[in-house]
């Protein structure tokens, strides 16, 4: 298999590259990433060089919304599959400015679809989110794959638009596509703007812990490794034109998540600061993933309590990784690797 992954320098994409290097040793992986603020080559620094030397891994810096660059990469590349992780992914940023979200999440997806189709890529996997379904009341049934899409943030609206495009390419052009929709991920290498890593890092560094509203919003939490195994299962066993939900069966109130983190780090509740709520804040997400269980033989394997304890330990043991993100030093790696890997050029060439 020769596969192209977009967004492989981000949180989930880099965990996915690691999974493939470990468990699909014969595959050739191309990692295409624009290295936005969320793209950090240090996420793969310990494995990339050796994999590259064995001819199993290449990094290319390219923007998925740059049609010429994407077409140039895919034409003649003879890729068996394209897995699109690349996105603007943070809801709060989409509230401040939605333009980059439309460009990457919608236009980028359209360009990937058109280029993959004309280059004859055999399978296209779109990594989407449960947020496309909108939100739930306390007693509502969990989201299933047939729940109507009702996105409520600019982020989720762009992800929903992309899902519609991907599924329309299957319907209209008979393209072999699969869409995955997962709940909130946590684990190593998550950018410390998202709830769990932000709270861990702030707890360690003596800062306040900003909880939106009363902390009563509910999310379903899944360890990133379980999500990555789901994406791999969808790639290998998913039905063309099908959608698969993944979840962690771990619904928790935000306040309870923050309390668990401060308990693990060993700081007091007085550090919690209740701040102005996020505009349009979705109340609750919950996932029905029975289709993935039945058709992909997939189930989440990590309990939230042990996964969170491992994640807190990872941030305690990898202080340099997040300190370099916080002080901006990680951008030096991005600029260095970017100067090696421009579109069409292998990193290190
Ligand atoms: P992230 O923000 O950590 O990483 C995104 C990556 O995409 C970065 O490496 C960035 O440089 C790259 N990128 C952004 N714009 C690009 C562009 N125009 N061209 C090429 N690369 C670009 O995101 P994440 O949390 O790892 O999420 C990955 C995917 O999974 C996203 O599609 C997201 O919508 C989806 N998802 C995330 C979660 C979650 O909880 N984080 C849950 C479900 C689905
Ligand atoms: O459900 C999947 C989605 O999960 C993904 O598609 C998104 O890419 C990902 O960012 C995530 O979206 P959320 O908005 O749920 O995640 P975030 O970590 O930003 O927030 C989780 C909850 O915590 C949410 O209810 C808002 C709250 N929150 C968040 C931050 C950053 C706080 O109370 N304080 C904070 O400082």
For residue 250, give every residue at least 6 positions away whose Cβ sits within 8 Å of its Cβ, in sequence order, or none: 220, 221, 222, 300, 303, 304
Cα–chain-centroid distance for residue 238?
A: 19
In a domain, 253, yes or no: no
pTM across the whole model: 0.97
- Residue 110 belongs to some domain of the structure: yes
Instruction: Find the CATH number of the domain harbouring 104.
Output: 3.40.50.720
Determine the structural domain holding residue 72 and report its residue range. Answer: 2-183+224-247+282-301+330-340
Q: What is the pLDDT of residues 155-199, one digit of tens each?
A: 999 999 999 999 999 999 999 999 999 999 999 999 999 999 999
40: Cβ below 6 Å to ligand 1?
Answer: no
Tell me the best of 19, 59, 86, 127 to mutate to test the pocket of ligand 1, counting ligand atoms within 8 Å of each CB and taking the most: 86
Residues of the chain with pLDDT under 50: 342-349
Q: What is the pLDDT of residue 345?
A: 41
Domain count, the chain: 1
Beta bridge partners of 83: 5, 125
Task: Give the active site residues.
Answer: 130-131, 155
Q: Does 209 map to a domain?
A: no
Tens of pLDDT along 83-140?
999 999 999 999 999 999 999 999 999 999 999 999 999 999 999 999 999 999 999 9
Q: What is the pLDDT of residue 342?
A: 44
Residue 236 lies in a domain: yes
In a domain, 51, yes or no: yes
Q: What value does the CA radius of gyration of the chain take, rounded to a whole number of Å?
A: 19
Residue 260 lies in a domain: no
Residues lining ligand 2, CB < 6 A? 89-91, 129-131, 183-184, 194-195, 198, 210-212, 217, 219, 254, 278, 285
């Amino acid at each position: 298999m020769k596969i192209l992954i977009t967004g492989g320098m981000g949180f989930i994409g880099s965990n996915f590259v690691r999974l493939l290097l470990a468990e699909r040793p014969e595959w050739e992986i191309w990692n295409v990433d624009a290295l936005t603020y969320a793209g950090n080559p240090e996420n793969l620094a310990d494995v990339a060089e050796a994999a590259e030397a064995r001819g199993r891994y290449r990094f290319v810096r390219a923007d998925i919304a740059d049609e010429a660059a994407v077409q140039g990469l895919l034409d003649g590349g003879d890729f068996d599959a394209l897995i699109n992780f690349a996105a603007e992914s943070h809801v709060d940023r989409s509230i401040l400015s939605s333009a980059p979200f439309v460009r990457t999440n919608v236009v980028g997806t359209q360009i990937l679809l058109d280029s993959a189709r004309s280059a004859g890529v055999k399978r296209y996997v779109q990594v989407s989110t449960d947020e496309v379904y909108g939100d739930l009341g306390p007693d509502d049934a969990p989201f299933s794959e047939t729940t109507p899409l009702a996105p409520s943030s600019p982020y989720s609206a762009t992800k929903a638009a992309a899902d519609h495009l991907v599924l329309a390419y299957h319907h209209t052009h008979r393209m072999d596509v699969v869409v995955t929709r997962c709940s909130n991920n946590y684990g190593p290498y998550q950018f410390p703007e998202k709830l769990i890593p932000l709270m861990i890092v702030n707890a360690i560094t003596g800062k306040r812990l900003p909880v939106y509203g009363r902390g009563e919003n509910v999310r379903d939490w899944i360890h990133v490794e379980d999500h990555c195994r789901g994406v791999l299962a969808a790639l290998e066993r998913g039905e063309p034109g099908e959608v698969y939900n993944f979840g962690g069966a771990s619904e928790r109130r935000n306040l309870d998540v923050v309390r668990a983190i401060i308990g693990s780090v060993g700081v007091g509740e007085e550090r919690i600061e209740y701040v102005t709520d996020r505009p349009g804040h979705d109340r609750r997400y919950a996932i029905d993933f029975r289709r993935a269980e039945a058709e992909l033989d997939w189930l989440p394997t990590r309990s939230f309590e042990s996964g969170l304890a491992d994640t807190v330990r990872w941030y305690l043991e990898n202080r340099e990784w997040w300190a370099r993100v916080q002080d901006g030093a990680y951008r030096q790696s991005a600029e260095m690797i970017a100067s090696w890997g421009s579109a069409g050029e292998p990193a290190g060439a």
